[in-house]
Chain A
Amino acid sequence: MEEAQNKPKRPPNVCIPWDEKHKEFPKIQGDTEIVKRTWEEIDALGYTFIWHCLVSF
């Protein structure tokens, strides 16, 4: 259980992991962290949609 909790392939709040998406970008010229944070925040909305379909609706 501990391993399942700590090392899932696609962790909670993630649909398309940043590490996977990052490879598709050209070399980021500015602040990578801003791009990463924005990607992850919007990606989490997709996670919210899928999991609330299961849990709430």
Chain B
Amino acid sequence: MAPDMEALYNERLTRYSTALQNGKPDKVPLRPFAAEFAAVYAGMTCQEVTQDYAKACKAARALAAGFDWDAIVGNMVYVWTGLTQAIGLKYYAAPGVEISSDTAFQYIEPPEDDAHMKPEEYDALIEDPTGFLSNIWLPRVSRDIVAPGEPATFRSHMAYLKGGMAMLQYFGALGEQNARLRVEAGMPAAIGGILKAPLDIIADKLRGYLGLTNDLLTMPEKVKEAAEALAPHLTAVALASSDPERKAPISFWMHRGGVPFVTTEQFETIYWPTLRLVIDALWAEGAQVLFYAEGDWTAHLERFAELPEKSIIFHLDRTDPAEAHRVLGHKFCITGGVPNALLSYGTPDEVRAKCKELIDTCAGDGGYCMDASAIMQNDSRVENVRAMTEFTREYGVY
């Protein structure tokens, strides 16, 4: 008799949702974020899953069928290079094109003197963020799109047209993927929606990290004004892409907004107040946010603890697990913490020991989901991911 996928879906969703609400489910949920690891498992190259999202979705479905997890991302190789190439985006190196077929896609940081936004352009960004992106930023980051006032070109028109249609096609396919995961594997969606912090966006895509660092010293008020101007738009993007049923949290990818990338003062005066408004606005709509805290955010745990109970989930990368549980565990679910280096270079026994340590530290009263520290790429070994899964299922029973 075929397994009842809907019953399995509901069982897993209940387990996952209970933990996200900082409650105690029947077992510790598993919610690994697997990107190029899916390619390894499915016998594909990084090029295949990055260039062809249908293959990436197929690889994710293979993971869902092959591992007893409680929630996954339908396609964690999120940057589909078919789309970025249609727009002509300059800042990606695609596997099989600029880099080898077995290397995950790379984001290319712009040179300090050739950032995608000039230091004198803050006022234009603040005045009209959407207009700035359309008229100045997009023509600058695209090989094909021309700026207003420049002669119109066929390739510019096509870049907009193909890019827009490709995005609609891709987002539609991700919805279909979630439906297939539910029906075929009884697997819930781990996240819904995307958020980045205002200050991170300025570093990531506009001024570059070095440019932002200079600006924070020479014109901090302009940086703060820009972050304030971006905040309502980032809120809108997060809400529009979020799970309308509010079962899956909005994913918030935390890059370089904490110490030591910025100073404590810069965090306190710019990063946190401009982010706090976004988080509060999302919570007012009932949307939980997964703080995917890449790096070590131990210095800022007390600030996160000020947020409304259950409004966020805190993900461990290099943040101290015991400290995170002490400061945040009474209010928020915690996820992750298995070092990716261990999944790549450790032994299954070492992985099991780490999982035991994390469960003992963070999962005693519920409110914890097992996951790697960072997104699993093609260096994670299948036997180690298998050990993480099986040990959590055996030991993580309440």
Contact with B along A22-57 (1 / 0, CB 8 A): 000000000000000000000011111111111111
For A15, list chain B residues within 8 Å (CB): 130, 134
For A46, list chain B residues within 8 Å (CB): 164
Q: Who on chain B is nearest to A47 by CB?
A: B130
State which of A5, A8, A56 has its C-beta within 8 Å of the C-beta of B277. A5
Q: How many Å from the CB of B175 to the closest CB on chain A? A: 14
A53:B130 contact, CB within 8 angstroms: no
**What separation, in Å, do the CA atoms of A44 and B201 have in the docked complex?**
21
For B113, list chain A residues within 8 Å (CB): none
**What separation, in Å, do the CA atoms of A1 and B167 have in the docked complex?**
32
Q: How many Å from the CB of A9 to the closest CB on chain B? A: 5
Q: How many Å from the CB of A50 to the closest CB on chain B? A: 5
B296 at interface by CB-CB < 8 Å: no
Q: Which size class do A's interface residues fall under?
A: 20 to 34
**What separation, in Å, do the CA atoms of A31 and B339 have in the docked complex?**
59
A57:B240 contact, CB within 8 angstroms: no
Contact with A along B95-134 (1 / 0, CB 8 A): 0000000000000000000000000000000011111011
For B236, list chain A residues within 8 Å (CB): 12-13, 51
**What separation, in Å, do the CA atoms of A10 and B84 have in the docked complex?**
26
Of the stretches B61-69, B227-235, B385-393, the one at the interface is: B227-235
**What separation, in Å, do the CA atoms of A12 and B237 have in the docked complex?**
8
Contacts A1-B274, A8-B232, A12-B235 given; does A48 touch B240 at CB 8 Å:
yes
A1:B228 contact, CB within 8 angstroms: yes
A55:B237 contact, CB within 8 angstroms: yes
Q: How many Å from the CB of B242 to the closest CB on chain A? A: 13
B24 at interface by CB-CB < 8 Å: no
B138:A57 contact, CB within 8 angstroms: no
A51:B83 contact, CB within 8 angstroms: no
State which of A10, A13, A57 has its C-beta within 8 Å of the C-beta of B131. A10
Contacts A5-B277, A9-B128 given; does A53 touch B87 at CB 8 Å:
yes
The majority secondary structure among interface residues of chain A is helix
Contact with A along B45-66 (1 / 0, CB 8 A): 0000000000000000000000
Q: Who on chain B is nearest to A9 by CB?
A: B128
For A14, list chain B residues within 8 Å (CB): 130
**What separation, in Å, do the CA atoms of A53 and B237 have in the docked complex?**
11
Q: How many Å from the CB of B190 to the closest CB on chain A? A: 17
Task: Give the contacts of A1-20 with B (CB-CB under 8 A).
Answer: 1, 4-5, 8-15
For B196, list chain A residues within 8 Å (CB): 55
Q: How many Å from the CB of A28 to the closest CB on chain B? A: 26
**What separation, in Å, do the CA atoms of A55 and B239 have in the docked complex?**
13
B220 at interface by CB-CB < 8 Å: no
- B interface residue numbers (CB < 8 A to A): 78-80, 83-84, 87, 89, 127-131, 133-134, 137-138, 163-164, 167-168, 194-196, 201, 205, 225, 228-229, 231-237, 240-241, 273-274, 277
- 13 A-B interface contacts by CB (under 8 A): A5-B232, A8-B229, A8-B232, A9-B127, A9-B128, A12-B233, A12-B235, A13-B240, A48-B240, A52-B237, A54-B205, A55-B194, A55-B201
The 8 closest A-B pairs by CB, nearest first: A12-B236, A4-B228, A1-B228, A51-B237, A5-B232, A49-B164, A10-B130, A50-B133
